[in-house]
Amino acid sequence: MLTPDTKANLSDRLFFDLDFSTGAVAAVSGGSDSTALLLLLKDHLDRTAPAARLLAVTIDHGLRPGSATEARQVADFCAERGIAHRILAWRGDKPASGLPAAAREARYRLLAQAADAEGIKLILTGHTADDQAETVLMRQARDDDGRGLAGMAPATLHDWRSWIVRPLLGTRRAALRDMLRHRDIGWIEDPTNADARFERPRMRAALAQGEGERRIAEALALSAQAARERHDIGRRAANLIDALASRPVPGLIRLDRDFAGHEDGQAAVYVLRILLATVGGMSFLADEARCAELLSRLQLGSLCATLSRTVVDARRTAIFLRRESRNLPVPAPPTDNWLWDNRRRITLKDGPGDLVIAPLGPAAASKTPFSEDVPKSLSRAALAAEPALWSGGKHLDFADVDTGPQSVSIVPAVAPFARFLPCFDIEPATAVAMLVGAPPVPAPPFHGHDGGRGWAKA
């Protein structure tokens, strides 16, 4: 059981390095983990930063008849302690399959909206070491390619603007519940956590039996090792991108011929996975085995192939990557924070008027100035697949610039990390952002941070 002194020491250890200058949003479902997070966080802020804003947010997913009542119970709990609280509901149709993933996506989106509304850049969730072990074991059972075995990141950038931090990842659920019992505080038991239709409850039930504690310890050790390896290969990949990749024109990536035969083949494959996803606008990295095969073919000489919606055109002078011309988005009015083709982020400051965003197309691309160092056919093909503003069938402007009077900006995005950037991957994401002209990665919310490197290796 945690004594009051231990509780204070725990909260200091959990939150001492976090920057609360803009405040904090705490995700609180009413379960033991999030309730403990909220109380420990409030204790810490009361002692160290009493002026910092704290907003508790409960997401009502609307998946059970009692969810609205439980959300109101959390609201009452917060009101009794003088904590600002908001309930946000996940509305609309729910998917018949993939429900946990869809609920997670909706939860983070709503939490980010609440944070944005208050000008808060930091969101905290109550994921524990138990959750981490379950995550790693579930991914291991799916024959994960290795990256996923790092588990949940201590910090993740959402939508390239809000940091989600999980300060309890090193803390066991039993210790948190001991602390709540010591303070005579109850919590809500979500029946979904015991619903065997879903993967996580089945794993949780398995870990409650027999060799569960040993398996948890092994999973946490595996997670720590995988996180270190993921950070290391990310650092090496970033160095390769910085040294051997360039962007001659928007939408076209050039790799030096030396890339194909680089001595660090593992990092080169990883670079290919990231760049193919970025150029092709894919949320997931390209398949590792197929990228390894592609790298081997690139070492043999010239070729033209397509993978992850990206055309790989290897020539004598260099290797070029561009978005293939098929399945581009249809013309549509711009909307705010829209990821066009998952490659460009649209910011709309006013109404769209009569504007539409559509691919530039071959005719308009042919009128654009070209780089002298790149074959014109490659430049035209790359530019033709890039987004542009149109009005009444007339091309107004092109991609990389803020359009000023139209109050629409179109800037590059790093597709595989545009929605979620785990701190493990900050270095390669930063290198790709610089390469394609995307905004820089917002600084992690830690005092004296080192770009997330320390958290990635923790």
Residue whose tokens read 């998917």: 95
* Cα–Cα distance, 407 to 93 (Å, whole number): 33
* Crossing angle of the two packed helices 32-48 and 4-15, in degrees rounded to 10: 80
Domain ranges of the chain: 4-226, 338-412
Q: Which two tokens stand for residue 90?
A: 């996940």
Confidence of residue 10 (pLDDT cuts 50, 70, 90): confident
Contact of 250 with 399, CB cutoff 8 Å: yes
pLDDT tier for residue 196 given thresholds of 50, 70 and 90: low
- pLDDT(108) > 90: yes
User: What predicted TM-score, i.e. pTM, was given to this entire model?
Assistant: 0.91
Q: CATH top-level class for 4-226?
A: alpha beta
Q: How far apart are CA 455 and CA 427, in angstroms?
A: 12
**Residue 78's pLDDT band (cuts 50, 70, 90):** very high
User: In the chain, count of helices (H) and strands (E)?
Assistant: 14, 18
Do 155 and 125 meet the contact criterion of CB atoms below 8 Å apart? no
In terms of phi and psi (left: phi > 0; alpha: psi -120 to 50; beta: otherwise), the region of 430 is alpha
pLDDT tens figures, 401-451:
444 455 788 999 999 999 999 999 999 999 999 999 999 999 988 875 444
Predicted pLDDT of residue 438: 97
